[in-house]
Amino acid sequence: MDGFFEQPGETRGPGLAAAGATLTIDLGAVRENYRRLKARLGGARCAGVVKADGYGLGAAVIASALRKEGCDSFFVAHVGEGLDLREALGPGPAIYVLNGLPPGAEADAVAAGLIAVANSAEQLSAWRATARRLGRKLPVAVQVDSGMARLGMAPAEVETVAADPDALAGLDLTLVMSHLACADEPDHAANRVQLAEFERLRRLLPAAPASLANSSGIFLGSEWHFDLARPGAALYGINPTPDSDNPMRPVVRLEAKVIQTRTIGEGAGIGYGHTAIADGPLRVATISLGYADGWRRRAAAFAHFNDVRLPFIGRVSMDSIILDVSDLPEGSLKAGDMVEMIGPSQTLDEVARYSGTIAYEVLTSLGRRFNRRYIGG
């Protein structure tokens, strides 16, 4: 696996001395991941999905890094995210709003030059009315539901829109898109079913660029690539091919500060509820990280220090975790030292497995109390 590279970087949030943990975000790795995805796409274009504040890592910073690689199309979930991103990037890049525009948000979207993704005939009608009211043509993307039952026009709705000669009056159809439900399972039958249904539905609409592949969809093959791919997770180092080695570079490293160390005696109860009891003298350390920082309360994970794995003992608290440090030489770990929570010794995907969730949730849950350090920019 490609590792992190160390170099001075920009720091945001509380400084190192004031924060309980440091989150290092490697913008060079984000850019390299974008290059790797583009190379797989051949002639298809590659967008950047930066919703949820760039999966929790800072949408403006991530998008600015991707711009340096030539990325000119971005996807956010909400209008508010789009407004913030436009302010950060300025005019030029296309910014699509995946969830569409809620009633009343049309004027703000137009002012910021956002592109509405119409997920229903109702959303399409509202955007068309906005164009008519302004007396100008507005860009629109139409999302069709090819088999995920989440967002997008149902097949019958697409057929109704296609039969209406005025459905796109005053609108410039810039993209027809859909989303894959099972792309991270390459042999899942749904992938071929959705591909065929997307082909059928998009042909009912006026000719326009098409987009189907998410991060994992890029790895399904060129049939799924169409004109534009929309990777998100893979940009941030999450494995888009869970059954094989991660083809992406790691992007984040999380290190937590040791608050104190101590030796406890046999029979001592550890943490809330005394869910762990010392079975003999035990050396422990308390670190400054907890569920208020996005580390799941029932996460059965580890920390690492000098390549030694340090198991959690007892429950994760709001602001702290207790570690068994008995395998370290006595006195080698002290207050103020940093232990690795996510990094070369324990990847983001491994933390997700320990936590009984997916890497997306781990990443987007990471809190705001960290010292955030950007490198490779």
The catalytic residues are 51, 272
Going 193 to 199 to 205 to 210, the CA torsion angle's sign is: positive
- Give me the DSSP letters along 243-312: TS---SPP-EEEEEEEEEEEEE-TT-EESGGG-EE-SS-EEEEEES--GGGT--TT---EEEETTEEEEE
Q: What is the DSSP letter of 235?
A: G
* Residue 28 near residue 10 (C-beta atoms within 8 A): no
From the list 200, 132, 143, the residue with the least C-alpha distance to 173 is 143
Q: Could you give the 3-state DSSP secondary structure of residue 176?
A: strand
How many residues does the structure list for the chain?
A: 377
CA 158 → CA 61, 98, 146, distances in Å? 37, 17, 11
Give every CB contact of residue 159 below 8 A, 6+ residues apart in sequence.
204
> CA-to-CA distance for 84 and 138, rounded, in angstroms?
20
CA distances to 29, 185, 295 from 366, in Å: 19, 26, 7
Is residue 134 helix, strand or coil? helix
The one-letter code for the residue type at 147 is G
Q: Which residues pair with 228 in a beta bridge?
A: 45
Cβ-contact 181, 148 below 8 angstroms: yes
Cβ pair 231, 49 in contact under 8 A: yes
Q: Label residue 281 exposed, middle or buried (CB < 10 Å: 0-12, 13-18, 19+).
A: exposed
Evaluate whether 231 touches 37 at the Cβ level (below 8 Å): yes
Contact indicator for 48, 75 with CB cutoff of 8 Å: yes
